[in-house]
Structure 1
Amino acid sequence: METFRPEENRYVIDQESSVEMARLMELDILTTKCMGSLFPADVALSTIHDVLDVACGPGGWVSEVAFAHPEKRVVGADISHSMLSYARAYAEVQGLQNTTFYYRSATEPLDFPDDSFDFVNSRFMVGFMWKEAWPNYIQECARIIRPGGVIRLTESDCMSGLSAGNSVALSWFNRIMVRAFYRTGRSFCEDEDGYQVGVTPMLPKFLKEAGFQAIREQPHLLNFSAGTETRERMFKNLQIGLKLVQPFLVKAGVTTEEEVERCYQQVITDFMSEDFRAAWYFTSVYGVRGEK
């Protein structure tokens, strides 16, 4: 089937949605806790002075870094005006004077000077990145990162919460999300009936081509089965996310309004079961900028 791209909305969920903002704030907390730290354990923090978070959303990671490391300059970039407004207001209320937020798109050249940052971070951009845009984005990061600086990309080949589990309805959502990503040019997998979009295996290749060295991969696992601490937070994340993503899935032609709503209600039912088992897998890929 021929692919198409809904140019009027690159992100699969309305980026100005206040409900989506709340979901991203919760997801930020879950993700950072699962990863164990704000920065990779083997990166010397003494060498990091200027930090950039691309597609920062409501600024959760930026604020955490700025609070934990007041000596560092921390910059957030995003295309959502509402999320940037919230991030600025939150930083001001918290007295985080070492933060700045800019309107920037990861799918276009980043409007920052060469050699501006020591660490560039981004998380879960697969929701709006065309597959052809990834190498260009990483090349742009290479331009603005100083020699010896670090890039870290954290991505999943499934939408948050859809990696593995015993819920047939949740697995169905994963399959149609992958199919929709294939049809809208976001997937590296050539099979629209596959189970993953295949972005994480591509990232080391793109980093190497952009001149990054000492490339490492760090897998993460977030178990949100019945009885775990993360169950309630992931339930809220999926309850919101799977509702907001439905118009995108219908427009992509992979389901109908009736079918997707029926499966959505089944996911909610499955989550309530004490036999519910599920885990989300995602990966961080990071590397050091070589001499230019």
Structure 2
Amino acid sequence: MDWDKLRIFHAVADAGSLTHAGDTLHLSQSAVSRQIRALEETLGTTLFHRHARGLILTEQGELLFEATSAMARKLDGASARIRDSEENVLGELKVTTTVGFGTLWLAPRLVKLYEKYPDLKIDLMLEERVLDLPMREADVAIRMKEPSQSDLIRRRLLNIRMRLYATQEYLDHAGTPGSLDDLSTHRLICQKTDQPQVAAGARLVQEIMSRNITSMLTVNNYFGVLQGVLANVGVGVLPDYLAVDHQGLVRVLPEIESGEVPVFLAYPEELRQTRRVAAFRDFVLEEIQAYRRQKSEVVPE
């Protein structure tokens, strides 16, 4: 089968338009159309339904697009490994993690990675949705649960817990609660339980809210919760890794915490030898070790 025709077919299927595919491939619409017709004649089948709004894959077209997508992913992986030299780490690396971990732990540390590899281009995608690594929606993920796909390399980084924190200034003004029931006289800052978040954190918030909390500030990510706590708005439910970087946080009700939440680093098997992935993996592992040392020094359990 003609590889060039398959490349053109993949571009058309991905764009859903002969014109847009032609723009991407730097070919005229008529040239793209001729190649698609020739491929359909070779296969003896129709690959697209044509209509006024564009092109829709037929069942046979869907099967071929699935195959060309797998080929494209492997070619991308091979190209990345070829571009990575023995001495240099450069090019784009797509990293995904949650909004909280990405903004509060990972992003502030990336300056160290850039100091070592100044030509690296990181596309940091922060969202609670789990992106599909085998489908190359991202190259590397840091997730708050173990990945389920079998074709991923995964490494457990640490375990975190959600705990209660406030500032000393807030506690001096509002008093220090001695029990969960005492929180009814304080303002609670947290994520709503119906917001995307780790299940252990949602369960802890549900338990606290059952104590007749009268005043609340809810935010849809931990960055917002942290800002509320640091501004002396109330007592916040936050991941414990923040206590190392924000030593102004005072733990409230030390006996109250969520269950453990595992944090995993994961990437596709096919990217194992890619220098950019290896550089990011080693950087994260080094920062985790540094975090553990800091935690043992400044944060009592």
Q: Give yes or no for TM over 0.5.
A: no
From the two aligned structures, give the one with the greater helix fraction: 2
What TM-score comes out, normalization by structure 1 length? Answer: 0.30
What TM-score comes out, normalization by structure 2 length? Answer: 0.30
